[in-house]
């Protein structure tokens, strides 16, 4: 057992118990006979406490020693798997199935942005522009990550172009690039019934290739890259799930999967 983690868990439990009782630190000090200064350090996880004083404190807050010292099941960081890629990469399809596989919720960041703005993405860009969208994107991302729960997150295709948001995501989530060839992106979007890529835009494929080429260096910074062009949806899910260690939110080797 990690001593630092034990002290941090003990301090948090004492602080929570004191809060439930509605006591101030001064009142807890009076009831336990321990100094308020020491209790501040204890609740912050930075003070050792003798068994005798811990027993006295447990009695004062009507808690058992076992409840205060038991290993914390909450100690593991939440696992957030963030899927990256252009539209047509399969983020929504793969994300939903991966979430079911990992038994966690699935969240689409763009839907959170729309809920915050009360507008569709098209309306956000048309009325307020990209800068406003990026600001909402960062705010929505922070809120999702601050929920403190494990989940699978489908990000917007342009999120990696926002350095601040991408750095935040990289710090707090396992980033996975669902890589695909331009032709795969195109065919998947069209298969979904979206004809917009080619509507009044004869150079749409050339534009798609240019966009993908410009963003590839950013996507390639992801912890894991899965080449989806050669895999089925279930194959992609398996490839990502195999590299996830749920209790630690890490990967088994940041690498490329074909």
Domains of the chain and any CATH numbers: 3-69 (1.10.260.40), 80-257 (3.40.50.300)
Q: Are 83 and 153 in contact (CB under 8 A)?
A: yes
Average pLDDT, the chain: 84
At residue 249, the pLDDT reads 42
First-to-last C-alpha distance (Å) of the chain: 39
Give the confidence band of 188 by pLDDT, cuts at 50, 70, 90.
low
- Provide the pLDDT for residue 49: 93
- pLDDT of residue 200 exceeding 80: no
Spatial contact of 171 and 100, defined as CB atoms under 8 Å apart: no
> 0.75 exceeded by the pTM?
no
Lowest-confidence range among 81-90, 150-159, 204-213? 204-213
Residue 2 pLDDT class (50, 70, 90 cuts): low
Tokens of 70: 């038991």
What distance lies between CA 104 and its chain's CA centroid? 11
pLDDT digits (tens, 9 = 90+) for 71-126: 765 545 688 999 999 887 889 999 999 999 888 899 999 999 999 999 999 999 99
In sequence order, what DSSP letters do the residues of 177-223 get, joined into one string? EEE--HHHHHHHHHHTT--GGGTT-TTHHHHHHHHHHHHHHHHTTSS
């Amino acid at each position: 057992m990690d001593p630092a983690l034990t002290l941090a868990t003990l301090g948090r439990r004492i602080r929570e118990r004191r809060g439930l009782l509605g006591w101030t630190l001064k009142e807890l000090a009076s009831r336990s006979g321990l100094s308020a200064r020491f209790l501040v350090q204890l609740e912050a996880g930075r003070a050792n406490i003798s068994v005798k004083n811990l027993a006295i404190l447990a009695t004062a807050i009507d808690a058992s020693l076992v409840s205060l010292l038991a290993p914390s099941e909450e100690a593991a960081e939440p696992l957030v798997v963030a899927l990256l890629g252009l539209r047509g990469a399969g983020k929504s399809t793969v994300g939903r199935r991966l979430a079911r596989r990992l038994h966690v919720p699935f969240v689409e960041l763009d839907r959170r942005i729309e809920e915050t703005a009360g507008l569709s993405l098209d309306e956000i860009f048309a009325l307020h522009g990209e800068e406003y969208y990026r600001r909402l994107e960062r705010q929505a991302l922070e809120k999702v990550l601050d929920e403190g729960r494990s989940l699978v997150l489908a990000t917007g295709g342009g999120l990696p172009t926002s350095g601040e948001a991408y750095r935040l995501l990289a710090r707090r989530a396992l980033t996975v690039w669902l890589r695909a060839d331009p032709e795969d992106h195109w065919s998947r979007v069209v298969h979904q019934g979206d004809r917009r890529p080619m509507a009044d835009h004869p150079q749409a494929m050339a534009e798609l290739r240019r966009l993908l080429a410009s963003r590839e260096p950013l996507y390639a910074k992801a912890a894991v890259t899965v080449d989806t062009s050669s895999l089925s949806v279930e194959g992609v899910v398996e490839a990502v799930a195999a590299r996830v260690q749920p209790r630690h939110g890490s990967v088994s080797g940041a690498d490329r999967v074909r």
